[in-house]
Chains A and B, each alone.
Chain A
């Protein structure tokens, strides 16, 4: 079997046009949810009795951290689709998700550090979650760097696919080992104690924001996928017509 665009999902033009519409829907939905969730969370949710107002960074930090991990899994899923169905679009998705996933990982590290300052008194501690996140950032960087180093896009995609699959198998092992390492070396006092159950007025806006960030991520990934499709298909007639029209 060769490298062919798969069914209509395989047609770059079909995808480019459809994804434009999906992007519009995602964009507005994400905007509404994020504005609502953030205003609610930052302005109206009650103050935390332990951490005061500084806890409010969870409305950014938690969704972003969720996304950072979910996107690696999504990338691995794309790798499977790439190898099993030889679908080029899966490779395009992998390329977009790698960059976005890295961005979200860095954002979650930075927001974690900003949150750490008032909570732990320092920007960085070798907490299990921070450490796993750091390793995850390196894994994303690997996928980006490997693609950048290989000229042929098909080949770069397949090499990344192998790397991501090996990475996703190792990811849980890394996560558990880091957690275990943390209990081995650090007294429990530095770990965030079990949080008391959040009142609904705190977690509902968080839920809204998580949903908002997921949809925003879809918006970003679709946008970057469309750009990559255009670039890879730059010699196709429909792309030339499109550029001619613009």
Chain B
């Protein structure tokens, strides 16, 4: 094949050696990646494939809209709760249900809690091993590690040489046992790993600290939602009542519960400031010259915005996480985003395992059609049930290709921060400028794999501050005599209109998330989700634009093409969530969703 120039500015050349990575591990769900590498080891063509489908939307048809949060929550157990929140918002939007102030604060605290939990678990347990070599940590001097720890984070109490020696001993016994468990077959002698042993030991230690911490973080969900993963939500508010003064307070949100929430918020904040951010800076410092992976982030970023200050107001000015779209690399102009506009969000399926009946069409989610068509292209190698190589000129993924006004977009923490930065969002600008100054890097360094990883850490810290704000707001409101947590005026379906439509939007940890619902006679007539990893992991569209994963892999140098360290590094920086992205299709050519624009 000759070189193909994509409309979004990439030169694809699949003449080099083909490398297949399947399964891509340390992600949520199932994913495959294929790349072509030239003689010098540079990636010149990238193919990203979602390899699972569950069919949630067809299952939702005919159900009670008040139950939809529970179904959609099960789209993903990693970003647990965010689909539920999006769902109750969509139902409330459709039925004109407003929620009380306390419910808004509690939902925000829960959503922010998820952002922090997800970012921490992502960095330490899904992403760190792309940068950190735990085997190399065995060579570290515990005393020097202690000095490093104190230098990068003077306030972190766990920093003695003895502490690091203990962890190192434990690690040594583990490795010496011959049962390497999760570290088995890692790429530990690959030259792509650049950290000195002391930094490896420090980060490996924090892998374990974060594993202990994450089970504490989620207790905020447990208090308000009864369990985690998959806490409970409620259309019209939140299910937990507040009772701080009277008899029966033990069965409600009371002083003890509030104190527990407050202490967890403090704990998260300490970890973010004493461990997470310093680690990202320290590790990033050793990889400063590895600035691959920017992909679409410097060109096209999309954010829906989230965390409303006042309840029931989703205008951009009322949201702490920014909303907007940046296109063509022009940071001077941020476009507003309207999920209801049929011309803005559209999905294409020419390279996805679906058909719209005719080629080249893009459909708004409210007008969407989902009809499966699993077939491999003529140049694919292998068989239908034993794929060796995909043919990206044909259909090649269970993920659709969503586009914003025709543009392939990146979503997620970096996209939010790019949009926020471009909009002059004060907190975001201060954080980004501060980080770049500390690390002595130009703004362009932000548009990279590491920039994505850093934006996530910055956001985790920012979310911690927002959590404090909403906790204080909740307590102040209770103090002022308002204990209300649910609005039940329209709980009974007999109060609903015969037909209604709504949209709910959030910023999931991985990016912009939207649910579109249509209700008829008290039941769900249609339901459609367009999720972050559908944006980021999308295949090519009709015009040939490649998606964010694919773009980010382009022109990356692989140290050893047989060992996909660099591919994992960049894909992981998006925190892929395949169960989310690939829930939308149907088998048997059945038409699943057809919703008219209102």
Asked if A and B bind, the verdict is: no
Which B residues fall within an 8 A CB radius of A?
Answer: none
